[in-house]
Amino acid sequence: MFAAICRIQWKASALGVALLATLAFIIPLLTVQQAGFSAGDRRGWDLIVMLSAVETAGTLFPILAVILGLTLSVGAWSADHQAEHVYALTLPVPRWHYVLLRFGAGLLLIAPVVAAVGLGCAVALGSFDLPAGLRSYGGAITLRFALAAAVSYAATFALAAGTKRTTAAVVGVLTAVIVLALVLEAFGVSTAVAEGIMNAIFTRPGPFEVLVGPWSLIGV
Amino acid sequence: MFDEIDPRNPIPLYDQIAARIRLAVASGDLAEGDALPSVRQLAARLRINPATVVQAYRALEREGFVEMRQGSGTYVRSVSTDRRRQTREDQAARLARDLLTEAARLGIAGTEVARALQREMGARAQ
Amino acid sequence: MSYAIETQELQYRAGRTFELGPLNLHVPAGAIYGFLGPNGSGKTTTIRLCLGLLRAERGGVRVLGHDVPSQAPAMFARVGYVPERSHLYPNLTVREALALHGAFHRRWDHQAAAELLGTFQLQGDTRIGRLSKGENGKLLMLLALAQRPDLLVLDEPTDGLDPVVRRDVLMALIDFVSESGATVFISSHLVHELERICDWVGVMDRGRLVAEVPMHSFKNGIKRLRVRNAPAQAGDPPFVLLARERGDGASGTEVWVVRGWQATMRQYFEGIGAVLQDVVDLDLEEGFVELLRTARVPRGS
């Protein structure tokens, strides 16, 4: 059953995954090239400029991870939405079992993109000699990317399964909270609540900490 | 043989099927040892309930026209000339009964029907 | 007698106007049960309730001994369902749909599926979204049959199909039923089709089960009598008088629609000084129409 679900989910997500995998492979290569590491001689203050370029480029990874998570969530449920969910409800497996199958299939589809990140990093880092004092974080980035994609996927999976009405409701509530926090911020009213929530989510041990951590391919 | 099975006829379907087979045997169209179509085949072909076919075959078996052999099918038995004649007579009687009932419904007397019958038979002989 | 489907005081409401039940449906195991009723009478809703696709307000459903909806997955392993509208994923090909369905059903018969593909002349690599109505109907029946179910629940399976496709679909159905003895619950408003194959009949009208009887008693049950010179007040007939109307033809002729008629009841008419001219048998469609017509008229009018 799992294999069958994987096959149809791959069909629904293949294009998105292929596109994102291509991007995932290119980002490390472009990062290294744009930062100037592949050029000839580097010295002193140039390194600082190059490293900050790498850090900036690194922000593309979490963005890609979130997009991947979203794409796979949508891919997991698009067929059921089109068929109005009736088919799944007439299968001889309990609903939770079916949901798990869908979830697992999507999770598996993260792998090719993660592999592309890993490969891209390896190729990019292998194209030049690392100057003394610097370290590369290809493996760490790849792992962090995998985790970030998985977390984004899990977070959006339930939403993608719901009806348009519930999705709109959840998005609406989130937007309202964020807007409210920003407005209050603008008026100088520091909302410990908003800050508290943001901290809980985006710093360790919150689930989304993985998105805001260090994403630099090369650092000290 | 089974093309005119009519579910709208008040005669039950199984009876219509059995009647056809009975007459085919009586007229010699079906000979001793001939195999009737399987329940599955006939039901599917006529698009009727297989239980109806079974009912027809069982009725014929009870009357001694066929025998249902487990696993191999339903086969026609030998039927005496007397029996065959009787079958044809029964069917003719049925036709006559239906004709007269219909005539009565339309307000036509039996004697008028008989006269028309004679005339028609005469015309056909020529 | 064991029942393939049984409901107990099943009730459901939708919006302010649609009300269903209390429904006490009994589909005998092994029967081919025709579920008749005009459009909007609640046939599809009843089917959805029986399969747990809708939640009842009150009452219970058991299908093949399984409680619905609590044991619905186990039930679906043994039930082949053909819905009114295709529920298949439109982006899959025919072959992929078969593979998916087969992966979930333990009793899936690959050979039967392949044979039916040929019989129905379906191409394996056509996208489901591109299938014609007839091909869709055939595919749905194929999936339900290749599952080798103990019960088939068919919601208007031949509706909108041309006669050739209809014949193919019904032949495949009957072929399967002949060898498996599976129960069939088939809803349709194509009365003539059901007349041939069903041995039980359940009639729905305005959310209620108006009749549930073996087919032969339904067909023989309702008759039209042509009566002459009947008195205005004819009391205590031995049959159920459903309707009494002026007939065309000579004045004084009436048409009586009755239920439970037997030939011996002719004497009744002699007793009231009337003449029974004719007893007309009704086919299933006419019987169905009469039943509905008389079921809707309030008693006493």
Residue ranges of domains in chain C, CATH in brackets: 3-206 (3.40.50.300), 218-296 (3.30.70)
For residue B60, the model assigns a pLDDT of 93
A129 band by pLDDT with thresholds 50, 70 and 90: confident
> Per-residue pLDDT for B107 more than 60?
yes
Q: Which range in A118-127, B65-74, C26-35 is most confidently predicted, on average pLDDT?
A: C26-35
The pLDDT, as a whole number, for residue B3 is 67
Say how far apart CA A103 and CA A77 lie, in whole Å.
10
| Mean per-residue pLDDT, A109-134 | 88
Interface of B with C in 93-122 (CB under 8 A): 105
Find the residue in A nearest to C98 (Cα).
Answer: A4
pLDDT value of residue A40: 59
* Inter-chain residue contact C104 with A4, CB threshold 8 Å: yes
pLDDT above 70: residue A204: no
Mutation target to probe the B interface, by most B beta carbons within 10 A, among C167, C174, C282, C286 is C174
Residues of C in contact with A93 (CB under 8 A): 73, 104
pLDDT at residue C101, as a whole number: 97
Distance from the A110 Cα atom to the nearest Cα atom in chain C, whole angstroms = 22
A145 pLDDT above the threshold of 80: yes
Q: What is the pLDDT of residue A197?
A: 67
Residues in chain C: 301
Number of domains in chain A: 1
pLDDT in tens, B20-30: 999 888 888 88
Mean pLDDT of B66-76: 89
What is the pLDDT at residue C17?
86
Distance CA B18, CA C200 (A): 22
Q: What is the pLDDT of residue C301?
A: 39
Q: Do chains C and B touch (3 or more CB pairs under 8 A)?
A: yes
Does the beta carbon of B4 lie under 8 angstroms from any beta carbon of chain C?
no
Task: Decide if pLDDT at A165 tops 80.
Answer: no
Measured in angstroms, the CA of A7 and the nearest CA of chain C are apart by 9
Q: Measured between alpha carbons, how far is A146 from C187 in angstroms, rounded to an integer?
A: 51
**Residue A4's pLDDT band (boundaries 50, 70, 90)?**
very high
**Which sign does the torsion angle of CA B40, B45, B50, B55 carry?**
negative
Phi, psi of A131 (to 5 degrees): -65, 155
Shortest distance between the Cα of B108 and any Cα of chain C, in A, equals 14
Radius of gyration over every alpha carbon of chain C, rounded to an integer in angstroms: 22
Which one, of C70, C118, C124, C71, lies nearest residue C95 by Cα?
Answer: C124
Per-residue model confidence as pLDDT tens digits over A36-91: 776 655 555 577 778 888 888 888 898 999 999 999 999 999 899 888 889 999 99
Residue-wise over C202-221: b if at least 16 C-beta within 10 A, else e?
bbbbbbbbbbbebbeebbbb
* Residue B100 C-alpha from the chain's centroid: 19
Interatomic CA distance for residues B79 and B74, integer angstroms: 15
Evaluate whether ipTM surpasses 0.90.
no
Q: Is C107 on the interface with A (CB under 8 A)?
A: no
**In chain A, beta strands by DSSP E:** 135-136, 218-219
SS3 B33: coil
- More confident call, A69 vs A193: A69
Contact partners, residue C116, CB within 8 Å, separation at least 6: C142, C145, C146, C172
Question: Alpha-carbon distance B8 to A110, whole Å?
Answer: 63
- Residue C84, phi then psi, degrees to nearest 5: -65, -40
Residues found in chain A: 220
Q: Does C113 have pLDDT greater than 50?
A: yes
Query: What count of residues does chain B have?
Result: 126
Of B90, B25, B89, nearest in space to B61 by CA: B25
- Residue A5, pLDDT score: 95
- Across the range B103-119, mean pLDDT stands at 89
Integer angstrom CA distances of residue A107 from A102, A160, C92, C104: 9, 14, 21, 21
> CB-CB: which of B8, B43, B48 is closest to C283?
B8
Q: Residue C87 and residue A83: Cβ atoms within 8 Å?
A: yes
In this prediction, residue C300 carries a pLDDT of: 44
Question: Is residue A193 over pLDDT 80?
Answer: no
Q: At C73, phi and psi to the nearest 5?
A: -60, -45
Partner-chain residue, chosen from C76, C90, C96, that has the shortest CB–CB distance to A82: C90
Query: Residue B116: which pLDDT band, with cuts at 50, 70 and 90?
Result: very high
Backbone angles phi, psi at C62, to 5 degrees: -125, 130
Structure tokens at B27: 């007229």
Q: Could you read off the pLDDT of C256-296 as tens digits, one per residue? A: 888 878 888 888 888 888 888 888 888 788 888 888 887 77
Q: Are strands C26-28 and B73-76 parallel, antiparallel or unpaired?
A: unpaired
Closest CA to A148 of A24, A11, A18: A24
Task: Assess whether chains C and A touch, using the rule of 3 or more C-beta pairs within 8 angstroms.
Answer: yes
Report which of A103, A160, A125, A98 is spatially closest to residue A31, judged by C-alpha positions: A125
pLDDT bucket at C74, cuts 50 / 70 / 90: very high
Test the B interface: residue of C173, C178, C279 with most B CBs within 10 Å: C178
Inter-chain residue contact C179 with B45, CB threshold 8 Å: no
Biggest CA–CA distance in chain A, Å, is: 67
Residue C11: pLDDT above 90?
yes
C-alpha C176/C-alpha B35 separation (Å) is: 22
Of the ranges A196-205, B32-41, C74-83, the best mean pLDDT one: C74-83
Out of C174, C219, C220, closest to residue B43 by CB: C174
Please compute the mean of the pLDDT values over residues C252-256 and round it to a whole number.
86
Average pLDDT of chain A to the nearest whole number: 84
Phi, psi angle pair for C27, to nearest 5°: -105, 110
Query: Which two tokens mark C198?
Result: 């069903």
Q: Give the domain extent around A162.
A: 2-219
Strand partners, C66: C63
Q: Pick the range with the lowest mean pLDDT from B31-45, C145-159, C270-284.
A: C270-284
